[in-house]
Amino acid sequence: MPIELFSADGHRCLMFTDLSGPGDAAVQANQFLIVDDDTGAIIDPGGNLAYHQLYLGMTQHFQPQRLSSIIASHADPDIIASLDRWMTATPATVYISTLWERFAPHFCKPGKTEGRIVGIPDAGTRLMVGRNELWALPAHFLHAEGNFQFWDPVSRILFSGDLGVSLGVDPREPITSLAPHLPKMEPFHRRYMVSRKILRLWAQMVKPLPIQMIVPQHGAPLQGAAIGEFIDWVQTLECGIDRMDERDYRLPA
């Protein structure tokens, strides 16, 4: 069953957390469904492990033929490897960074994506889902070269992709205090985020937003005090290329 993150005035945000099944070897991943009246959009639909249950779960809330958008933060397999099946089952348009729009068709049979992929420019854009906007915010190198997060002004949820990930936690239990969860977050962010400079630029961009929840693609949502604590923490984090030196570029023994 999905977790309802928000519901008011015909606008709903749902999170699916366990579609790859218990004990699966794949990393846990969240998929998101936004429904506005009778129109829907899926953010980061995942790979083939998630497809069947996500599709069935979606049908409980609206008809698949009303799915207007498949929105991808970047092009990793856990984000969009199921694209071929979504192209068959729905009429949705795919939105993905212009850097990846010519790579995404590799997930599909020839011709399936023709005329159905729209590149998001580096500066981001505002997409319509039903009556309301969904903002694609630049999040380049966090962790992919062409990467976006998605801000829903109605629910005030920031769908943050790989930023804010916590591994090995219950995704159904929101994080309200950051410090106890840092051991589950720090190793991932030190390796997958490119540099402290980029994290500072991101923090500067999102601070003005009235964020009620940060929801990453892996792990649990952040809410309450944890939102500000996370934004403050990542600005000081040495990560990615900050930590690399000649010891990391040696011929193997």
Spatial distance between the Cα atoms of 148 and 137, rounded to a whole number of angstroms: 5
Asked whether the beta carbons of 116 and 86 are under 8 A apart, the reply is no
Of 193, 195, 171, the residue nearest 181 (C-alpha): 171
Instruction: Compute how many other C-beta atoms are within 10 angstroms of the C-beta atom of residue 241.
Output: 15
pLDDT tens for the chain, 253 residues long, are 899 999 999 999 999 997 655 556 678 899 999 999 989 999 999 998 889 889 998 898 888 889 999 999 999 999 999 999 999 999 999 999 999 999 999 999 999 999 999 999 999 999 999 999 999 999 999 999 999 999 999 999 999 999 999 999 999 999 999 999 999 999 999 999 999 999 999 999 999 999 999 999 999 999 999 999 999 999 999 999 999 999 999 999 9
Instruction: Compute how many other C-beta atoms are within 10 angstroms of the C-beta atom of residue 168.
Output: 10
Q: Where are the alpha helices (DSSP H) in the chain?
A: 48-59, 77-80, 83-89, 182-192, 196-206, 225-234
As separate numbers, helices (DSSP H) first and strands (DSSP E) second, the chain gives 6, 13
Spatial distance between the Cα atoms of 88 and 92, rounded to a whole number of angstroms: 10
CA dist 196 → 131, 142, 190, 228 (Å): 37, 11, 9, 17
Spatial distance between the Cα atoms of 201 and 137, rounded to a whole number of angstroms: 12
Tokens 């403050």 belong to which residue? 232
pTM, to two decimals? 0.95
Tokens read off for 233: 């923490």
Asked whether the beta carbons of 147 and 74 are under 8 A apart, the reply is yes
Asked whether the beta carbons of 35 and 6 are under 8 A apart, the reply is no
Spatial distance between the Cα atoms of 89 and 92, rounded to a whole number of angstroms: 9
Tokens 């993905």 belong to which residue? 96
Asked whether the beta carbons of 128 and 38 are under 8 A apart, the reply is no
Tokens read off for 77: 């397999």
Asked whether the beta carbons of 101 and 119 are under 8 A apart, the reply is yes
